[in-house]
Amino acid sequence: MHPCTGKESFRRAMLLIAFGVILFAAVTHLQDLWMGFMGLMGLFSPILLAGAFALILNVPVRGFERIFARLDRRNHLKPGTRNMLGLTLTLLLLPLVLAVVGRFILPQFFSAINAVVTLIRDNTDQIERFAMELGLDPKIVSQKLSEVSQWISQNLGNLAGTAVTTIASVFSSVASIVMSLILAIYLLGNKTRVRRQCAALLTAFAPKRVSDACMRVGQMFIGTFSIFLSRQCLEACILGSILFVGMLIFGLPYAISLSCLTAVLALIPFIGAYMSFFIGFTMIVMMDPTKAVIFAIWFLLAQQVEGNVIYPHIVGSSVGLPAYVTLGGVFLGGAVAGIPGMVLIIPVISVIYQLLKEAVEHRTAAPGAVKTPPVS
């Protein structure tokens, strides 16, 4: 055996042992690690929030940049100018969007949540009689509906309070707000320069292969997140609008509330719309079973249009994930971070899936074929 080979084997064995010791220590001290991580997050919260703001606001900025690029066919506008115009329009429209969401959409959303919880609690006898007519055990049905209403109240009804508490704890001072917004605007206004500086920093302290891989992964995540969020929001608005028009035509109750609720929950891939359907059907069936049937038919028709026409053409393969991977990601995100995790985990899983797919294709390529090196 060559001496270098023996040294290499010994080095790998020591690395594996060290990794095992570190992993064991991490597993046995998860609570301490989590507390330390949260403390670190609190220390750098203005910077992290600025990055989060920049990532979200980058979605409309990129949209405006593409619009200007299409209108400016002779390339009179430089990329930096298009970026500044997109950022300016985004900042001008942001207060209007926040006002509309805060004034109309969120109140209707939480009104629908409170209404369904109240209806279930106040109509227990009617629910039990309806269950008996269907041949079901009324006690079991009543118990399950009570559990569902409790889950809705805890996970959706308290969503606003949780968000407000989180924001208040993070933004403990006006200085934090101003610092985060200024830094986010700077990052968006100097995207190209910041990207070059990050690449130079990585190249200075890491091998070129590692720095190139990190930059590519970052660009993949930003691009995937922007495309997913913009198209998911557009799809949700279209589905909510279709439902609203149909409910107005058929004279169904809670048209505005349920349409807003559907638009918000449709941001959760796959299961969001079904959550909205269950809540809406429960609310309407308490008032008029016939209208509840009409609502169910119209909702299912809208869902078919959304699933077979809207989603493939608008969202399509924007995240590049098979349906089973997306569904598994939704449940995983919900288990880790609740409803926000269901939405935010999809771009993350999409990037991981693409990297794994490239790695598999690279390793299984036919001998003699040109192999594209995966990100590593």
For residue 12, is it left (φ>0), alpha (ψ between -120 and 50) or beta? alpha
Query: Is the pTM above the cut of 0.85?
Result: no
Per residue in 6-18, pLDDT (tens digit) is 667 777 777 778 7
Closest CA to 306 of 272, 279, 345, 258: 272
State the average pLDDT for the chain: 75
Given CA atoms 40, 43, 49, 50 in this order, what sign does their dihedral have?
negative
**Any idea where the domains of the chain sit in the sequence?**
44-162+174-189, 205-363
CA distances to 141, 164, 168, 189 from 155, rounded to whole Å, are: 21, 14, 19, 37
Per residue in 177-213, pLDDT (tens digit) is 677 778 888 888 888 888 888 888 888 888 888 888 8
Q: Whole-angstrom Cα distance, residue 347 to residue 318? A: 10
Tokens representing 113?
């949540």
- Listed as ranges, residues in the chain with pLDDT below 70 are 1-7, 26-27, 29-31, 33-34, 36-45, 108-109, 112-113, 116-117, 120-139, 141-177, 307, 310-320, 337-339, 365-376
